[in-house]
Amino acid sequence: MAEADEIRMLATRFFDAIEQGDIEAMRSAFAEDAEIWHNTDEIVGTPDQTAATLRGMVSRISDRRYADRQLSVFPGGFVQQHVLTGRRTHDGAVVRLPCAIICRVSQLMITRLDEYFDSAHVAEFRKFA
Q: What digits encode the pLDDT tens for the residues 103-121?
A: 999 999 999 999 998 877 7
pLDDT along the chain (129 residues), means of 10: 91 98 97 96 96 94 96 97 94 94 98 90 67
Predicted TM-score (pTM) of the model is: 0.91
Kindly list the distances between the CA atom of residue 59 and the CA atoms of 6, 12, 55, 99, 107, in Å, as whole numbers in the listed order.
30, 22, 6, 20, 31
Sign, CA dihedral 73-74-75-78, equals negative
On the 0-12 / 13-18 / 19+ scale of CB atoms within 10 A, 65 is: middle
Instruction: Write the class of the CATH domain 3-125.
Output: alpha beta
Which residue ranges make up each domain of the chain? Answer: 3-125
